[in-house]
Amino acid sequence: MKKYHLLVTLFFFSLVLSAQSSQSFLLNLYGGYTFSDRVDFDSSYGKVEDGFEWGAGLEYFIMDNASIELKYNRLDTHMPLYTKVPLNNGAIAPGTQVNAGDDKGAINYILADYTYYFGSSSQKALPFLGAGLGVSILETPKSGNGTYFAWEIKGGVKIKTDSPVSINLHAYLQSMSAAVGYDYYWDYYWGPVAVTDYASTFQFGLGASLSYDFSK
């Protein structure tokens, strides 16, 4: 995973240099708390536990109230995996953890965001909504790294100051999806048909970012 960190760092560094010359970019430093989620499989279920998420992004305003941003965020977490135990009444009871002591991992998000700010650019407080698409790089101890589709939606308020620094307070929902096997169905003409089965995470979080405007 070190090579991914190095590539992302070099990319952001090059963009910062270009931003200083064009004076059209904001550098955003992110920090937030991401809450846990449960993912169900056929015979087991896993958890992505809550944790601190951090990252950085470069935001370019394509107009006064709208911007695009490329950003990298990382969540270091634990991902325990449990078996499912069917009960006589049809319910499912939690089983044993199959990766005890080996459940530490991380999710790296690389996203391209679009954000719209409501109100006049002269306001000190600007509400905003945004969404992003990209990839997540999942680090797990046993299976190594995997790259999957990811997206997010976000909303909050941008608080400006008289200096180049501003503060963003926001809530976000992040998701990644991965193929985890096949479900089989019987078709009258084709016989057994395999359909790819996907599992997705949905994690809500609360965060803040410090922004530096190179145009000021």
Stretch (H or E) spanning 9? helix 2-22
Predicted confidence at residue 140, as pLDDT, reads 81
Q: Which residues contact 137 (CB under 8 A, 6 or more apart)?
A: 1, 4, 107, 108, 110, 145, 146, 147
For residues 135 and 162, the answer to whether their CB atoms sit within 8 Å is no
Mean pLDDT, the chain cut into blocks of 10 residues (216 residues total) = 52 48 78 92 82 96 93 94 71 71 90 94 92 93 81 97 94 85 45 53 96 88
Give CA angle at 71 (70, 74), nearest 5°: 160
**What pLDDT was estimated at residue 82?**
84
| Domains along the sequence of the chain with CATH | 2-213 (2.40.160.20)
Q: What single-letter amino acid sits at 65? A: N
